[in-house]
Amino acid sequence: MRNGRLLILTLMSFIAVCSCKSQYELLLEGADNDAKYAAAFDYFNKAKYTKASALFESLAAITTGTERDDTVQFYWGLSNYSNKDYVTAESNFDHFLSVFPRSTFAEQAEYLKVDCLYKATLRYELDQTPTYKAISAIGEYIVQHPDGVNAIMCQHMLEDLGNRLDRKAYENARIYYVMEDYKAARVALKNVLKDDADNVYREDILYYAAMSSYKYADMSIPSKQKERFLVFIDDYYNFIGEYPDSDYRKGLDVLYNKVKDK
């Protein structure tokens, strides 16, 4: 009798659990692939990208070799991309392009892969390895699709990433100035321009190089000051020759007038 009651309770619990499952869960676990396919697009179109991604992923193994194959694989990546899961989406698109290089979705997948790499890059203060990877991929895309609809957007990406690398190089050199190691600061700042004369922070770099040479000379023993102030004067003329109307000039003029006759 007791065993019979236990069996009934177990069956009732199982039925209750099943009845609590949502339509989505039943679709995901079920074998009705046509219904699953239609639901995946329905969730995607309603911007429910997590559910869409799970359904497309579930379909991916089943539709291999069928006419739906590239569509499912592409929209699986697009669902993750739309959900801002750029790492997973980049992997999706990379796989897609290796399997379906001639698909009608191929060029869009190439661009979205590039955009995933771009969006996964880090702030200038952090490791820039992802930035270099993105720059390489973006450059390849532009070479392959110079007149593509996304070429201009890719140029903007390259400009932004280039500026980020410029900022990192500039800030890494300027840290010596902040630490009051003015001799090292000037060397580091000059090296930035030696490596990249077109650094977008060139004006700031030349300014801090001049300020470093001035402060290094000013802190030197008297017997070394004259020689070291000549370095500052040289930096001063280099700066005003390139940026005569700079906001920095007024401060540099004051320092120059202070030491020019020493």
Q: What is the mean pLDDT of the chain?
A: 91
pLDDT tens-digit readout, 194-221: 999 999 999 999 999 999 999 999 999 9
* Torsion sign across C-alpha atoms 15, 19, 25, 28: positive
Would you state the pLDDT for residue 5?
Answer: 53
Would you state the pLDDT for residue 219?
Answer: 95
Are the C-beta atoms of 122 and 130 separated by less than 8 Å? yes
The C-alpha atoms of residue 96 and residue 160 are separated, in whole angstroms, by 27
pTM assigned to the model: 0.80
The C-alpha atoms of residue 171 and residue 168 are separated, in whole angstroms, by 5
Would you state the pLDDT for residue 148?
Answer: 86
pLDDT tens-digit readout, 88-140: 999 999 999 999 999 999 999 999 999 999 999 998 888 899 999 999 999 99
